[in-house]
Structure 1
Amino acid sequence: MADKFKFALAVLLLVAGIAGFYLLAEQAMILRVLAVMAGTALAVAVAWRTEQGQRFFVFARESATEAKKVVWPSRKETMQTTGMVFAFVVVMAVFLWLTDKSLEWLMYDLVLGWRKS
């Protein structure tokens, strides 16, 4: 029950920060942005103390660790793969155009006997 209260408080703090942005419409933009940032920081601080918040931050930490294990392709590999994709798209476009024109000729000229003018 306490976690639900803390989570609701975090949501209210976030909403208060956003509301502060609009309520301070006459103030300088830096103050308005600081209101949103303060509301967000307080909401994160309160949410951190909940069980769900702890699980989320553990998940985020593990995700960052896993992302570091990814072997990203080199520039050369990326360019080669992109080139293959473009070539495939061009080949498919020509194939579909030829198929369309063949079916058009078959249906309109041979089957229906309509001639284009």
Structure 2
Amino acid sequence: MADKLKLLVAVMLVISGVAGFYFFADAPTVVRVLSVIVGVVLAGVVAGMSAPGKQFFSFALEARDEAKKVVWPTRKETIQMTGVVMAFVVVMALFLWAVDSILMWLVKLAMGQGS
């Protein structure tokens, strides 16, 4: 039950931050944006103290660790694969153009408009 209350408070903080944005309509834009940012940050802190928040934080840390393990392609590999993709796009475009032209010719022929 305590976790649900914490999440409810977090949602209320976000809502109050957004409401502050509209409440301070005459204030400078910086103040209005800061009210939203403060609301979201405080909501994050409160939500982080709940069990689901702690699970999410743990998941985020694990995801970051997994992202560090990714082996990114070298510049040469990237350029080569980009060339392969571009060549495939050109070949497919020519193939689809040919199929479209043949089908258009067949339809015209079937309708008696072909030569």
TM-score range, shorter chain: over 0.9
**Counterpart residue number, 1:20:** 20
CA distance in structure 2 between the partners assigned to 1:39 and 1:105 by the alignment: 64
Unaligned runs of 5+ in 2: none
Between the aligned partners of 1:70 and 1:6, the Cα distance in structure 2 is: 35
Hey, what does 1:90 align to over in structure 2? Answer: 90
TM-score norm. by structure 1 comes to: 0.91
> Which amino acid counterpart does residue 108 of structure 2 have in structure 1?
Y
Q: How far 1:34 sits from its partner (Å)?
A: 1.3
Q: Distance in 2 between matches of 1:60 and 1:78?
A: 28
The residue identity in structure 1 corresponding to 2:113 is: W
What letter corresponds to residue 40 of structure 2 in structure 1? T
Query: CA-to-partner distance for each residue in 1:16-68, whole Å, 9 max, x for gaps?
Result: 11111111110111111211111111101100110000000000000000000
1:26 is paired with a residue whose SS is: coil
> One-letter code of the match for 2:111?
L
Separation in structure 2 between the aligned mates of residue 40 and residue 100 of structure 1, nearest angstrom = 54
Normalised to the residue count of structure 2, the TM-score between the two structures is 0.93
Give secondary structure in 2 for the equivalent of 1:72. Answer: coil
Moved over 6 A (4+): none
Does 1:112 find its partner at 2:111? yes
Task: Specify the alignment match of 2:6 in structure 1.
Answer: 6
SS of alignment partner, residue 27 of structure 1 = coil
What are the residue-to-residue correspondences of 1:37-52 with 2, within 5 Å? 37-52=37-52
Displacement of 1:113 in angstroms is: 2.3
Aligned length: 115
Counterparts of 2:15 and 2:75, CA distance in 1 = 43
Q: 1:50-99: per-residue Cα shift (whole Å, max 9, x none)?
A: 00000000000000000000011122211111111111011011011111
Measure, in 1, the Cα distance between the counterparts of 2:19 and 2:111.
67
